[in-house]
Amino acid sequence: MWSESKNSIGSRGSEGGAIISDDEHSLGARVTLEKGGDIAPFSITVGVYGSFFHTTYMGSLSEGEAIFKSMKSDIDEYLNYPQKEESNWVENFVNRY
């Protein structure tokens, strides 16, 4: 289950921007959307604890919000069905985003 980490909203994220969305999954993942980072207008960092960390960049808030939502759905499916082969899932996730 996802929950919003409200304490971090407005603070500086790992990409140097202001955090505008920050959600954590109870099974061990976090997705953070930033505005105004060092590399691009918007960025999303995602970490699945003990597995991988990935960052992706986009040019608009609407694109960022759509990708943020899609990433959360994909990660939720992965965490709730751990019998999936991790290496293929991670490779597919990184290639998609």
Q: What is the pLDDT of residues 6-45, one digit of tens each?
A: 889 999 999 999 999 999 999 999 999 999 999 999 999 9
Contacts of 35 (CB under 8 A, 6+ apart): 17, 18, 20, 41, 42, 61, 64
pLDDT above 70: residue 86: no
Place 83 in a pLDDT band, splitting at 50, 70 and 90: low
pLDDT above 90: residue 85: no
Mean pLDDT of the chain: 92
pLDDT above 90: residue 91: no
Q: Looking at the whole model, is its pTM more than 0.85?
A: yes
